[in-house]
Each structure stands twice: as C-alpha cells, then as structure tokens.
Amino acid sequence: MSSLTVQNIQGSASSSNTISVASGHTLHQPGMVLQVINAQYDTETSSSSATYADTGLTATITPKYATSKILVQINQNGIYKTADASANHVSVKVFRDSTELDVMASHATYTATAVRNNIGTVSFVKLDNPSTTNAVVYKTQFAANGVNGYIQTNNVPSDITLMEIAQ
C-alpha cells in the first residue's frame, strides 16, 4: 500500500475549484457528518404502570465505520395527570439495542390535591459509541410511576435524530 503526503489539495480553476471523489470511493474527515436518520412517532401511548414499555419512537442506523460516534437527539412529548404528591413524574429510558443509555424524568411541583395536568417535553442528547458497522436500533420506553401518563398526547409527535460522526 502506498501513501501520498501533501500539505494542500486544491481543485483546478477549470473545475470551479471543486475536488471530485471517484464513484465507489469515499472521503471523510474527523467530525464530518456521514449520515442523518430521523424518525417521528405521533400515536398516543398511555400507561399508569411503573413497568417500562415501548413508546413506539424508534430509529435504526447502520454506521459506515466501527470508529464512528452516533449523536442521538430525542424529544419525547407527553403529559401526566396526578392528584398524588408522591407520584409526580413519568420516566423515559433511552436504549441502544438492549443496552440502556440513560433515564430521563419529567417532574412537576405538586401544589394541590386536585388532579394536575403536567405537559412537557423530555429531551435527550448523547454522543454514543456503538463500535459496530451492524444496524443499531435506538428507542425509548416510559413508565408512569403510578400516575396516568401519556406519550405523544393529542398526536403531538416525538422525534429522534441519529447522526453518524466520523472519527
């Protein structure tokens, strides 16, 4: 294998200073976004259980390189209703395949004995390192922790964006 070492590559003036990469070949540099996957889900899911269940929000990415990192961005929309001061949140877990990456919780201050509606978005951002070129599935699950919890309420979509970042 041979190496070419240069200090500067420049396109010719006749090509409008454009450098082309031959078909079937790739060129990338660290920090470059190699691909973007986005998915939305807007079907309402409800629960009053403390047991985690899939929300329906999922996206799959197949990294081009095992050294790539995946920037995961999630906005999960929901609501919970409670009249119980001790049970005032829903929790959302983020998974890469079967590996739990994080737990996010939507909390509100309990101020009355009447049923309280708490609406909000739980957001998540992580630079993940799956170390594979196999397809990887990212998804969320939620638990209502004894309250009446709803995800994607009134068909307000939740979304997930996956970006492969070259290293």
User: Could you list the pLDDT tens digit for every one of the 167 residues in the chain?
Assistant: 688 888 888 888 887 878 888 888 877 789 999 999 999 999 988 888 888 999 999 999 999 999 999 999 999 887 766 555 555 567 889 999 999 999 876 654 444 455 556 667 788 999 999 999 999 999 999 887 767 777 887 768 899 999 999 99
As given in the structure block, the two tokens for residue 66 are 């095992």
For tokens 């638990």, what's the residue? Answer: 143
- The partner residues of 118 in beta bridges, in order of sequence, read 80
Which residue type occupies 153? T
As given in the structure block, the two tokens for residue 152 are 């994607």
Nearest to 89 by CA among 107, 77, 104: 107
Phi and psi dihedrals of 14, rounded to 5?
Answer: -70, -15
Domain boundaries defined on the chain: 36-165
Residues 150/153/157/162 CA torsion (nearest 10 deg): -10
As given in the structure block, the two tokens for residue 1 are 């294998």
Distance separating alpha carbons of residues 82 and 110, to the nearest angstrom = 9
For tokens 């660290």, what's the residue? Answer: 30
As given in the structure block, the two tokens for residue 18 are 């454009």
- The CATH number that domain 36-165 falls under is 2.60.120.1340
